[in-house]
């Protein structure tokens, strides 16, 4: 069983909710990415999303755009991200998803990239700008490699399109709880319960809700409506605050542990 699928099966069996964490790979450098991944695993993270740096991250707000820029400046490339994942796999089995734009797959070759990712220890891909209507070959390649294609559903997604997207997802469905790009918010969306209910009508896949969750209180609130929550910008912002400081890992992982404890308190 794929590590993402197994983790959500274990969460379901234990009656717990999950925590998905996003960081930009190579921000501030790949050694930090490795160390943060191991610390996050110890802190209770269920799935780690690694953003592969890209020059035109159109789905991202300013916090994650700057993280991508820092990743590029540190010399991070897709092959180096995969090499870092191989290092992580020597010490951790935390499920890993690559948050990536299609140009990077296309440049290498979709078949080759998927095979290389699977060999390195990746468990799923979230390709931001690949619509399901154009992903038939991609999905077949992903299935052959044992990887989960993660798809996004937004508040503006029409019912007919939810019916197309949801059944094609594997691992979990990522519900984007707000319109627009990634970023921290002062309060959570009021339509999460309604939208997760609509998604569940089309798929039994676990739902992870993200975009805008900024603190433990919000994490606890959103976790009542979903199988998992996703936190990215609030963590990336803390990485930006510390940069190459020696206390980067304990500072950021301490915040992540607070999020994990909040989510675990929800049954």
Q: How far apart are the first and last CA of the chain?
A: 25
Residue 132 main-chain phi, psi, to 5 deg:
-55, -35
Domain range enclosing 25: 3-264
What is the C-alpha to C-alpha distance for residues 232 and 251, in angstroms, rounded to an integer? 15
The predicted structure's pLDDT at residue 220? 94
* 3-state secondary structure labels for all residues of the chain: CCHHHHHHHHHHHHCCCEEEEEEECCCCCHHHHHHHHHHHHHHCCCEEEEECCCCCCCCCCHHHHHHHHHHHHCCCCHHHHHHHHHHHHCCCCCCEEEEECHHHHHHHCHHHHHHHHHHHCCCEEEECCCCHHHCHHHHHHHHHHCCEECEEECCCCCHHHHHHHHHHCCCCEEEECCCCCCCCCCCCCCCHHHHHHHHHCCCCCCEEEECCCCCHHHHHHHHCCCCEEEECHHHHHHHHHHCCCCCHHHHHHHHHHHHHHHHHCCC
The predicted structure's pLDDT at residue 188? 59
Its pTM surpasses 0.85? yes
49 is catalytic: yes
The predicted structure's pLDDT at residue 187? 55
Listed residue (222, 116, 140, 135) closest to 174, CA to CA: 222
Query: How many domains does the structure of the chain reveal?
Result: 1
What is the C-alpha to C-alpha distance for residues 172 and 125, in angstroms, rounded to an integer? 11
CATH assignment of the domain containing 38? 3.20.20.70
pLDDT tens digits, residue range 128-142?
999 888 998 999 999
What is the C-alpha to C-alpha distance for residues 51 and 26, in angstroms, rounded to an integer? 9
* Catalytic choice (5, 46, 49, 123): 49
pLDDT along the chain (267 residues), means of 10: 96 97 98 98 98 92 94 98 98 98 96 98 97 92 98 94 95 81 52 93 96 90 95 96 97 98 92
31 is catalytic: no
* Catalytic choice (5, 41, 60, 123): 60
- Cα four-point dihedral sign 198, 203, 207, 211: negative
pLDDT tens digits, residue range 87-125?
999 999 999 999 999 999 999 999 999 999 999 999 999
The predicted structure's pLDDT at residue 178? 59
Cα dihedral 71→108→50→56 (10° resolution): 50
Record the tokens describing residue 15, joined without a space. 């009656």
The predicted structure's pLDDT at residue 185? 46
């Amino acid at each position: 069983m794929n590590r993402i699928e197994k983790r959500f099966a274990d969460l379901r069996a234990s009656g717990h909710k999950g925590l998905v964490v996003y960081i930009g790979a190579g921000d501030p450098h790949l050694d930090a990415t490795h160390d943060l991944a191991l610390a996050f695993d110890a802190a209770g993270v269920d799935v780690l999303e690694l953003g592969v740096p890209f020059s035109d991250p159109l789905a991202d707000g300013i916090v994650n755009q700057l993280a991508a820029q820092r990743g590029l400046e540190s010399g991070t490339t897709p092959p180096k991200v995969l090499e870092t994942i191989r290092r992580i796999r020597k010490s951790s089995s935390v499920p890993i998803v690559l948050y990536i734009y299609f140009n990077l797959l296309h440049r290498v070759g979709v078949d080759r990239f998927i095979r290389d990712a699977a060999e390195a220890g990746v468990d799923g891909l979230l390709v931001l700008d690949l619509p399901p209507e154009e992903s038939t070959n991609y999905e077949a390649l992903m299935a052959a490699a044992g990887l989960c294609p993660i798809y996004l559903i937004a508040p503006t997604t029409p019912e007919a399109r939810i019916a197309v997207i949801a059944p094609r997802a594997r691992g979990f469905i990522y519900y984007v709880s707000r319109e627009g790009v990634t970023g921290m918010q002062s309060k959570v969306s009021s339509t999460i319960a309604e939208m997760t209910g609509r998604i569940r009508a089309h798929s039994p896949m676990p739902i992870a809700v993200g975009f805008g969750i900024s603190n433990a209180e919000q994490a606890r609130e959103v976790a009542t409506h979903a199988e998992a929550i996703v936190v990215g910008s609030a963590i990336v912002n803390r990485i930006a605050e510390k940069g190459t400081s020696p206390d980067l890992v304990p500072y950021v992982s301490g915040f992540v542990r607070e999020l994990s404890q909040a989510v675990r308190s929800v049954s």
